[in-house]
Structure 1
Amino acid sequence: MANPTPADIQQYIAAGLPCSHLEVEGDGQHFFATIVSAEFEGKNRIGRHQRVYQALGDRMRAEIHALSMKTLTPAEWAEQAPKA
């Protein structure tokens, strides 16, 4: 089986988790994702990561070697946006 691409990982996450912003970078083995979702409201970092793992399902064990994440609510994302 070929290694997944960042676009594949992005598609997998988007299919299982509504996101207002989603970026994935990586080299086929190691990935970094910035994920913004209203579903993260009221969840701590562990709860947010568990929600992403739920969206990825068995792919985390079978296809994805390593995934680092930055998980934010829409309000947190807006706070860190550059001010014009």
Structure 2
Amino acid sequence: MGLLQPHGGYRRAVRAALSREAGAVTFRTLDNLDVAGRRVLLRVDLNVPVRDGKITDMTRLERVVPTIRELSAKGAKVILCS
């Protein structure tokens, strides 16, 4: 440990925490979220290619629609942020 060198304690602690939690990482899914009556901010990328005023690839829009519909069907107020 010198004047311009980190003591290493932080990195060691982070590595230890990550190795302990590596097997316990879980991701939330729509199946186990209660969103009824709640506002849900959904970050989506709606930048689509446009040529001559027409959308040339609808993939991004088509992929987000099922999520919006499921949240809405569960009673959520969906707010889109692009």
TM-score (norm: length of structure 1): 0.30
More strand by share: 1
When Rg is computed on C-alpha atoms for both structures, the one with the higher figure is 2
